[in-house]
Amino acid sequence: MQRIAQVIRVRPEKLAEYVELHAAVPEPVLARLRASHIANYSIHLLGDRLFSYFEYHGDDLAADLAVMADDPATQEWWKLTDPCQERVPEARDGEWWAAAEQVFLME
């Protein structure tokens, strides 16, 4: 299992919309996440930053994420959520959500 933590900025004028969208995530989007071996997925808000955490239980994260990106339901979902978000300065080239480094783990 691989733990993934990421950060992105939520546009303040889109915060209410973003929260409302996530109150009713479409089932096809959730099904695609599960089919992509993603579990325990959560998104948290602090100020204007969103922090996401999920656990990946597959063998090839990049391949599973590519399949998810090709999924029509996911693409439609991202058309709604992406305008609410903005990359953080720490994001690497090509990253939308910036990967966060794990510095501590207690199991």
CATH number for the domain spanning 24: value is 3.30.70.1090
Residue 104 has a pLDDT of: 96
- What are the tens digits of pLDDT across the range 26-85? 999 999 999 999 999 999 999 999 999 999 999 999 999 999 999 999 999 999 999 999
Residue 29 has a pLDDT of: 98
Range of the domain at 32: 2-99
Distance between CA 57 and CA 61 in Å, rounded?
A: 9
Asked if residue 66 is part of any domain, the answer here is yes
Residue 83 has a pLDDT of: 98
DSSP SS3 for 10: strand
Asked if residue 26 is part of any domain, the answer here is yes
End-to-end CA distance of the chain: 13
Q: What average pLDDT score do residues 6-20 get?
A: 98
User: Which residues, in sequence order, are CB contacts of 22 under 8 Å at separation 6+?
Assistant: 43
**The total number of structural domains that make up the chain:** 1
User: Which of 72, 95, 93, 71 is CA-nearest to residue 85?
Assistant: 95
With bands split at pLDDT 50, 70 and 90, how would you rate the model's confidence at 18?
A: very high
